[in-house]
Amino acid sequence: MQTKAIFTVDVEDWFHAAVMQRHLSTIPDFKPRHRLAHNLAALKDWLEGKGATATFFCLSSLTPEVNAQLRALSDAGHEIASHGHSHTSLSQLNPLSLKQELEISKDILEQLTGCPVRGFRAPNFSITDQAIDAIAAAGYQYDSSVYDVPWHPGYGKLVHQKMGDKPYRFSNGLLELPLSIWRKSGLSIPMAGGAYIRHFPPGLFKKAALQLARAGYFHFYMHPWEFDQDHPIPPKLRILDRVRHFRNIKQLPIRLDALSSKMQFTSIAHFIGEHPTT
């Protein structure tokens, strides 16, 4: 049997990315071109061509066209989970607005798909200690926001709860499905996909991913805009941001094909179903 790995998607448009939100806020009246429906359809086709399922962490404030696609994804056996409503980092929300984000997004996505929403992922991995209890209180069964990269300034850092790189439970019983880390020579190297599969040498990423998957847990994630071969480039984007967002974007489908030839991608729901003791 082929080695299995978790495949997750943060369902948002290109202008929701932190780099773009920062840049576009400096351009008054900029009207971004919506690309999500096109990219989501391409990603769905790619997954189905591989016989794979995935978990889609979705914003609940997307267009009616995308909402119809979420229903179709759910009907096709993929898992729909929550990425919040407004894509606001959890550290910027007060307790009431955090509660509302968690409850509103769950409710809207459940009405869209007719299926229970079990999982939550914080925008930009901005998990906080307070959010762990709020996520459980809102009725979620698992979280998938822990990305244990101590040197990354943007990712959330838990102080009172454990940060790990394999499935575990927080002290309140909430299950965590963290993003993958490659521990090498005392370093914590983020190895969960997204930007990293584009920026790292492809041979290195594939080797590390396979090593992790064969050890029992490899969790890959990406955004639909990373699949966009005609991605719009906004004016006056800083060179560093341009590299970060666009580097090797045309290589991603090729690198994903190579990765999927070595492992079978599956959703978190299926992974939990096959590992009932997690």
Residues forming contacts to Zn ion in the complex (CB under 5 A) are 10, 12, 123
Cα(87)–Cα(185) distance, rounded to whole angstroms?
A: 35
- Kindly state the helix (H) or strand (E) to which residue 68 belongs, with its residue range: helix 64-75
Task: Report in angstroms how near the CB of residue 104 gets to Zn ion at its nearest.
Answer: 16
Q: Which residues of 96-117 are buried (b: 16+ CB within 10 A; e: fewer)?
A: eebeebbbbbbbbbbebbeeeb
The residue among 6 and 9 lying less far from Zn ion, judged by its C-beta, is 9
Which residue, 123 or 224, has its beta carbon nearer to Zn ion?
A: 123
Measured from the CB atom, the residue of 10 and 176 that comes closer to Zn ion is 10
Closest approach, Cβ 207 to Zn ion, in A, equals 28
Instruction: Tell me how far, at minimum, the Cβ of 123 lies from Zn ion, in Å.
Output: 5
Q: Which residue is nearest to Zn ion (CB)?
A: 10
The closest of 120, 90, 215, 123 to 165, measured between CA atoms, is 215
Nearer to Zn ion, 123 or 190 (CB): 123
Q: Give the nearer residue to Zn ion in terms of CB position, either 4 or 176.
A: 176
Tokens describing residue 6: 């978790």
β-pair type (219-222, 4-11) = parallel
Minimum CB separation of residue 10 from Zn ion in Å reads 4
* Token duo for residue 263: 């492992």
Angle formed by the axes of helices 252-260 and 202-214, nearest 10°: 30
The nearest distance, CB 119 to Zn ion, in angstroms, is 14
226 DSSP 8-state letter: G
